[in-house]
Amino acid sequence: QVQLMESGEGMVQAGGSLRLSCDGSTFTFRNYAVGWFRQGPGKEREFVAAISSSGLTTNYADSVKGRFTISRDNAKITVELQINSLKPEDTAVYYCAARPYGVSSQPAQYNYWGQGTQVTVSS
């Protein structure tokens, strides 16, 4: 079973940057596609970005394209989300999730979830 833990929580001003990390607990993590999702106050959980197990395929929500970059280091068993040009509407709890297949933007298709990390962007 894969256990995930997010880190990189922060409070930044609009225009700032943060790097979030998703750490997998086992080496089998490298065989999983990983997605990042977020849930803002009073909102439903939404897709942000995903990366295949090999790292060769990535997918982004339109709202974050050009600002967010997902990457993975399978040697370190981590997936990172670099978030730049932050906006107040990016304020949310960010979750990483894993599934043993290809990338997906659907939360229900992910088997394992982390506890989430808070990102707060002030105007």
By C-alpha distance, which of 21, 18, 30 is closest to 74? 30
pLDDT at 26: 74
In the prediction, which pLDDT does 56 show? 94
Res 27: pLDDT: 67
Instruction: With CA atoms as reference, report the closest residue to 47 among 87, 3, 85, 94.
Output: 94
As a whole-number percent, the residues of the chain with pLDDT over 70 amount to 99
Encoded amino acid at 13, one letter: Q
Render pLDDT for 28-63 as a digit per residue (tens, 0 to 9).
888 999 999 999 999 999 999 999 999 999 999 999
Tell me how far apart the alpha carbons of residues 78 and 80 are, in angstroms, rounded to a whole number. Answer: 6
- Given CA atoms 113, 38, 117, 20 in this order, what sign does their dihedral have? positive
Tell me: pLDDT of 74 over 80: no
pLDDT at 105: 97
Quote the CA–CA distance of 86 and 25 in Å, as a whole number: 29
Mean pLDDT of 4-26: 93
Q: Could you read off the pLDDT of 80-96 as tens digits, one per residue?
A: 999 999 999 999 999 99
Asked if residue 47 lies in contact with residue 107, where contact means CB atoms within 8 angstroms, the answer is yes
Q: How far is CA 83 from the centre of its chain?
A: 10
- pLDDT (average), residues 71-82: 89
